[in-house]
Amino acid sequence: MGKTIIRLLNETVEKYGQNPYLYEARSNIEYTSLTFSEVKEMSIRFAAGLIAMGIDAGERVSLMSEGKNNWVIGELGVLHAGAVCVPLSVKLETEHDITFRINHSDSVMVLASNQQIKKLRPIKKELTTVEKYILLDADVEVEENEIHFDSVLKLGDAFLSNNPKKVKERIAYIKPDSLANISYTSGTTANPKGIMLSHNNYVCNVEQAVDHLNGIPSYFRMLLILPWDHSFGHTAGVYAFMKVGASIASVAAGKSAMEILRNVPKSLKAINPHLLMSVPALATNFRNNIESGIKKQGKMAYRLFQQGLKVAYIYNGEGHNKGRGSRALLKPIVAFYDRIIFSKIRDNFASNLEYFIGGGALLDIDLQRFFYAIGIPMYQGYGLSEASPIISANSKEFHKLGSSGKPVPRMEIMIADEDMNPLPIGEKGEIIIRGGNVMKGYWKNPEATAESIVNGWLRTEDMGYLDKDGYLYVLGRTKSLLISNDGEKFSPEGIEESIMATSKYINQCVLHNNQSPYTTALLTINREALKQHTANPTEAAEIIASELAQYLKGGSNDGLFPYRWIPSAFAVIEEPFSEKNGLINSTMKIVKHKVYERYAQEIEQLHTAQGKLHNSESNLEVFKKLLS
């Protein structure tokens, strides 16, 4: 039968109307909150204002803002008006990236924060379908075709007084299958695809996720650090917490993206969340900060910390077998380290924090073991925006470190061969799913829709397998596979994540093998860490070669991966892969095809006798620049 997001909100208001839903700090770190009842009321007022301004049912409204109360109220207002929200990443910078999405969606209005309207004003003439810009922040002067958010609320108040039935009629128009969002892919191609998600897509996936986690208590608070426009934060944060009557908080406001980032630690302290959502880049940053803090306490403290981790890793196993068998003997030792070290880390980090949910990209198992050891498990999940997005997740009750958890309920999942025939348990193939969380299709792109959805099955283009206990293991994208000269294929993500997680000298790693005799790597370097060790380019090359050699016979990481896929040659890249140079997308994933295109010459050079050497002329030249 299905359900709308409007109904989801109404059900929550009936049960938890006076519970705080949205926490926000507009100045300093002084948080205030809005209840579910207040959010509903403001959303209806905003919807009435939009209708008064001429918005028609089914029209599109773009939303480009950092996380804040008006982000949620704005989107809910758009939905109450029967319109469609088009959430855009605040990390979009180029004119093409912004204008394509707004024009392609035929957006007639844009909601924008004070930081984002600065990007839009110079290109208004290029945004041919936009009639009005609504400023979410009051502390910016309006210009041509602009209006403040609060002014729209006032228009709504007047409209509700004169036309009380009109808004109710518009809400009644909305059906479970009505389009709620067009969510654009993260820009790994020149023209990203617009993913059409219905009201019921969201509600279905929210209910799948909440049931899968065996519920989320209504007293829970979450600091939603991830981008709110991204499907992971959108569904698992904004709407899942709405479903259970729990609270979400935005990071304290700042005048720039960097200032907002600096406010994360203070916001963590102020909100003291019970749950956090994380992606690998964020998890790595948290770990580095924790380890840095321990090191500042002296060599003895750091040595105890390392010993505690080692014992906890053995005791915890893969999570599901924690403390089993002979591991039980380690319980009092683990308790000792927890009392003197790990509990203090938790108190300092966020004393309420029970666990993380990890998504967005594959999370290295070493990171999972680390957070499990310190008593804040990071339960890896897996999803795809086209699936609204949650497909599987580990949970407190059922988890295996290294896996992406069990599939969510009320969804079919199959591991299939190239012809979409089912494969046996344990055999690797493409992950395909079918259920109420599968998108309606791609906006204005029936050809791509037909390729992705076949007989109701969504082809994820991700490789994986299911084990005998029903846990899903995701191996990486079918299109980013390493392919050897004998045709064998291998997903590189596990090796790349492991290298980046275990080497203090290697910041970024992209592997490449397109039917070649050996695999190569493009690396960016932690220059400060390397400079502490050496200023000699030749020695630096030896160090990096030694780091990679740890995955070969006799190395500390021997046996983690097949030797044939460990890079035999590497090129050091001077400029880190970043959003600024277009090599990292808005979800912090490296855009591999762009890296391959940008550094095609370097890859080709790695297949020459001179270029294969770790101390090749080109590597030594880059090391010389980095170490100067």
What is the domain-level CATH number for residue 159?
3.40.50.12780
- Clarify whether residues 58 and 197 are in a common domain: yes
Mean pLDDT, the chain, whole residue set: 93
pLDDT higher than threshold 70 for residue 212: yes
Whether 112 is in a domain gets the answer yes
pTM for the predicted model, two decimal places? 0.82
**Residues spanned by the domain of 248:** 5-262
Whether 270 is in a domain gets the answer no
What is the domain-level CATH number for residue 433?
2.30.38.10
pLDDT value of residue 255: 81
**332-367 pLDDT per residue, tens:** 999 999 999 999 999 998 999 999 998 866 777 888
**606-628 pLDDT per residue, tens:** 999 999 999 999 999 999 999 98
pLDDT value of residue 187: 47
- Clarify whether residues 426 and 507 are in a common domain: no
Residue 497 CA to residue 495 CA, distance in Å, equals: 6
pLDDT higher than threshold 50 for residue 189: no
Whether 18 is in a domain gets the answer yes
- Is residue 618 exposed (0-12), middle (13-18) or buried (19+ Cβ within 10 Å)? middle
pLDDT higher than threshold 90 for residue 394: yes
pLDDT higher than threshold 60 for residue 512: yes
Listed residues 244, 262, 280: the one ending a domain: 262
Residue 566 CA to residue 551 CA, distance in Å, equals: 7
Q: What is the rounded radius of gyration, in angstroms, for the C-alpha atoms of the chain?
A: 25
Q: Which of the four pLDDT bands, split at 50, 70 and 90, describes residue 181? A: very high
pLDDT value of residue 76: 98
Residue of higher predicted confidence among 130 and 27: 130
> What's the rounded mean pLDDT across residues 75-94?
94
pLDDT higher than threshold 90 for residue 548: yes
- Clarify whether residues 584 and 460 are in a common domain: no
Residue 207 CA to residue 215 CA, distance in Å, equals: 9
**23-73 pLDDT per residue, tens:** 999 888 899 999 999 999 999 999 999 999 999 999 999 999 999 999 999
Whether 375 is in a domain gets the answer no
pLDDT higher than threshold 80 for residue 190: no
Residue 321 CA to residue 339 CA, distance in Å, equals: 22
DSSP letter for 17, please. T
> What's the rounded mean pLDDT across residues 540-556?
95
Residue 97 CA to residue 578 CA, distance in Å, equals: 16
Listed residues 262, 279, 314: the one ending a domain: 262
pLDDT value of residue 55: 98
The torsion defined by the Cα of 460, 461, 466 and 472, in degrees rounded to 10, comes to -60
Q: Which of the four pLDDT bands, split at 50, 70 and 90, describes residue 598? A: very high
- Clarify whether residues 29 and 177 are in a common domain: yes
Listed residues 471, 494, 509: the one ending a domain: 471
- Clarify whether residues 156 and 42 are in a common domain: yes
Q: Which of the four pLDDT bands, split at 50, 70 and 90, describes residue 185? A: confident
Whether 448 is in a domain gets the answer yes
What is the domain-level CATH number for residue 566?
3.30.300.30
Q: Which of the four pLDDT bands, split at 50, 70 and 90, describes residue 486? A: low
pLDDT value of residue 482: 84
Whether 421 is in a domain gets the answer yes
- Clarify whether residues 538 and 612 are in a common domain: yes
- Clarify whether residues 408 and 487 are in a common domain: no
- Clarify whether residues 463 and 489 are in a common domain: no
Whether 426 is in a domain gets the answer yes
Q: Which of the four pLDDT bands, split at 50, 70 and 90, describes residue 85? A: very high
pLDDT higher than threshold 60 for residue 188: no
Sorted by sequence, the CB contacts under 8 Å of residue 344 that are 6+ apart come out as none
Whether 55 is in a domain gets the answer yes
> What's the rounded mean pLDDT across residues 196-202?
98
Sorted by sequence, the CB contacts under 8 Å of residue 324 that are 6+ apart come out as 317
pLDDT value of residue 585: 79
- Percent above pLDDT 70 for the chain: 98
pLDDT value of residue 493: 85
- Clarify whether residues 448 and 569 are in a common domain: no
pLDDT value of residue 191: 75
pLDDT higher than threshold 90 for residue 230: no
pLDDT value of residue 564: 85
Q: Please state, as a whole number, how many other Cβ atoms lie within 10 Å of the Cβ of residue 479.
A: 11
**Domain total in the chain:** 3
pLDDT value of residue 623: 94
Residue 131 CA to residue 143 CA, distance in Å, equals: 13
- Clarify whether residues 492 and 612 are in a common domain: yes
- Clarify whether residues 508 and 453 are in a common domain: no
Q: Which of the four pLDDT bands, split at 50, 70 and 90, describes residue 582? A: confident
**Alpha-carbon distances of 531 from 322, 426, 503, 626, rounded to whole Å:** 40, 45, 15, 8
- Clarify whether residues 102 and 202 are in a common domain: yes
